[in-house]
Amino acid sequence: MAKELNRSRLKRGRAGMVTDGGAPRCGQCNEPLHFGSDRQGRTTESCACGYRGYLKTRPGQVDSGPDAAVPSPR
């Protein structure tokens, strides 16, 4: 069975695929982060060790400016 697993990894490597790194982890205690949102709709990240933060959006990924295209109702 181990040979099949290695064979599938080779196929994924040839296809240019990358394996999932798993859930994002806390930088302080290395536990998985929990995600939620606040009243303003911003995405929050938190951990049981007391870490709290907001997710940062990358520039160019989401156009939320005043000139953002608004879909026409149909």
d(CA 63, CA 55): 16
Per-residue model confidence (pLDDT) at position 37: 92
CA 14 from centroid of its chain's CA atoms: 25
Q: Which residues lie closer than 8 Å to 46 by C-beta, 6 or more apart?
A: 33, 34, 35, 36, 52, 53
Per domain, the residue ranges of the chain are: 22-56
Q: What DSSP designation does 61 have?
A: T
Predicted confidence (pLDDT) per residue in 14-70, tens digit: 667 677 778 889 988 999 999 999 998 889 999 999 999 998 877 766 555 565 555
